[in-house]
Amino acid sequence: MAAHLPPGSTIGILGNGQLGRMLCLAAARLGYRTHVFGPEHDSPAEQVASQSTVAAYDDEPALAAFANAVHAVTFEFENVPAKAAAYLAAHTHVRPSWKALEIAQDRCKEKAFFASIGAATPSWAKIDSVADLKEALTRVKPPAVLKTARLGYDGKGQAKIMDAGQAEEAWAAIGGPTAPPDSGYAVLEAFVDFTQEISVIAARGADGTLVCFEPAENVHTNHILATSTVPARVAPGTLARAIEIASRAAAALDLVGLLAVEMFVTRDGGVLCNEMAPRPHNSGHWTMNACGTDQFEQLIRAVAGLPLRDPARHADVTMVNLIGDDVNRLDAYLVDPAAHVHLYGKQSVRKGRKMGHVNLLRPKSV
């Protein structure tokens, strides 16, 4: 790949949801075309992309045509099938690389990775059977959370365990009886009595330059992100530690692109890593209106080999997700000069579905 992609080049995006949509819009501002690839028709990204391929992620002829039609590829989700990632890596430039995806796809690998860079996680154990779970509950004492190692999101594939007698019930609740033996099927995690949840989005350029957006304070409702607020109400030392962890993780992965790291803040001001995602993240949507450059533009810049921009923030902000019916209550936001509304073009409203978000700006306090 040339040192940087000239304007007019096409950036391929695997996945065609709202993150893909906002990536396409950022790419267009920098003069790039986009080609999105994903399984759904009339998707949020397809509506704004220059080109679209609607196909399954394991459709090799479609992947071959896609690889031929683009100058570089990135993705908007981490559960890219290994075969598709390998195929694309062999035929075009993929940023970030498979290494980051592979780790982020699997909670066991993710926790081992955090340990390898000196970042703490809640205490945990790998679980492949109900016998493993019963044994692990003698070490990782309840309250605890049992999570599938792969393909869980927004609280799906999770069961809370309040006492050891609930092992069988929790194992059944996450689909454990169907688990192949020795698969690294699930993790048992100590339930953290956190004061706040925070996340940091690191951006790393093709030349190794690394910059982080400020940590956001996140509130989840029913396991789905409800709001992100910046500045976070967290001690400066804790915020500095969070930024250090995200930076160290992105560098250790030799990542070109974005890495979002979600963390719990403990009562003593410590930081425990929960999970990471090598892509734009819902908890980074506040950057779209509160910073000179946002997470989507940083990713496009990294993929295209352009210099990254200063991630400095010029306003305080709360990002409010519009989930399900919330999208029908926009009137007040539409007339509020401090409210920046972003809608994703989804036709049908469903419970728990992310329909858009609003960034509410306030004058910068710190």
Q: How far is the CB of 17 from ligand AMP (least distance, A)?
A: 17
Among 191, 309, 316, 353, binds ligand AMP (CB under 6 A): 191
Write out the binding residues for ligand AMP, residues 230-289 only, by CB under 6 A. Answer: 262, 274-275
- Closest separation in Å from C-beta 352 to ligand AMP: 13
Amino acid at 42: D
Structure tokens, 108: 């066991």
For the segment 209-228, give every residue that binds ligand AMP (CB under 6 A).
220, 223
CB of 180 to ligand AMP, least distance (A): 22
Shortest approach of ligand AMP to residue 22 CB, angstroms?
21
Shortest-Cβ-distance residue relative to ligand AMP: 192
Q: Is the dihedral of CA 260, 319, 46, 1 positive or negative?
A: negative
- Whole-number Å distance between alpha carbons of 319 and 341: 10
| Shortest distance (Å) from residue 363 CB to ligand AMP | 29
Angle at the Cα of 344 from the Cα atoms of 340 and 230, rounded to 5 degrees: 40
Closest to ligand AMP by CB, 35 vs 111, is 111
Task: Output the smallest distance, CB 107 to ligand AMP, in A.
Answer: 8
Of 189 and 297, CB closest to ligand AMP: 189
- Cβ distance to ligand AMP smaller for residue 286 or 333: 286
CB of 262 to ligand AMP, least distance (A): 6
342 lies in the binding site for ligand AMP (CB under 6 A): no
Contacts of ligand AMP in 95-154 (CB under 6 A)? 122, 145, 152
x/- map, 287-326, ligand AMP, by CB under 6 A: ----------------------------------------
Rg value, the chain, Cα: 20
Give the interface size with ligand AMP as a residue count (CB under 6 A): 13
Tell me if residue 62 falls in helix, strand or coil. Answer: helix
Q: Is 155 in the site for ligand AMP (CB under 6 A)?
A: yes
Residue 331 identity (one-letter amino acid): D
Considering only 85-93, 112-120, 186-194, 301-309, which stretch makes contact with ligand AMP by CB under 6 A? Answer: 186-194
Task: Name every residue whose Cβ is closer than 8 Å to that of residue 245 and which is 6 or more positions away in sequence.
Answer: 114, 117, 119, 200, 261, 263, 271, 273
At its nearest, how many Å lie between ligand AMP and the CB of residue 110? Answer: 10
HSE-CB for 186 with a 13 A CA cutoff: 32
- The number of residues making up the chain comes to 366
Please name the residues in contact with 269: beta carbons below 8 A apart, sequence gap of 6 or more.
234, 235, 237, 238
Closer residue to ligand AMP, CB minimum distance, 152 or 324: 152
Residue 134: closest CA among 194, 74, 176: 176
Q: Which stretch binds ligand AMP (CB under 6 A): 41-49, 188-196, 247-255, 297-305?
A: 188-196
Beta strands in the chain, from DSSP E residues, in sequence order: 10-14, 33-38, 51-54, 72-75, 124-127, 144-148, 158-161, 186-190, 196-204, 210-212, 216-221, 224-230, 257-265, 271-277, 315-323, 339-343, 354-363
What are the structure tokens assigned to 227, written together? Answer: 């709001």
Torsion of CA 268, 270, 276, 281, to 10 degrees: 70
Piece in contact with ligand AMP (CB under 6 A), picked from 7-15, 185-193, 308-316, 349-357: 185-193
CB of 143 to ligand AMP, least distance (A): 8
Give the residues lining the site for ligand AMP (CB under 6 A): 122, 145, 152, 155, 189, 191-192, 197, 220, 223, 262, 274-275
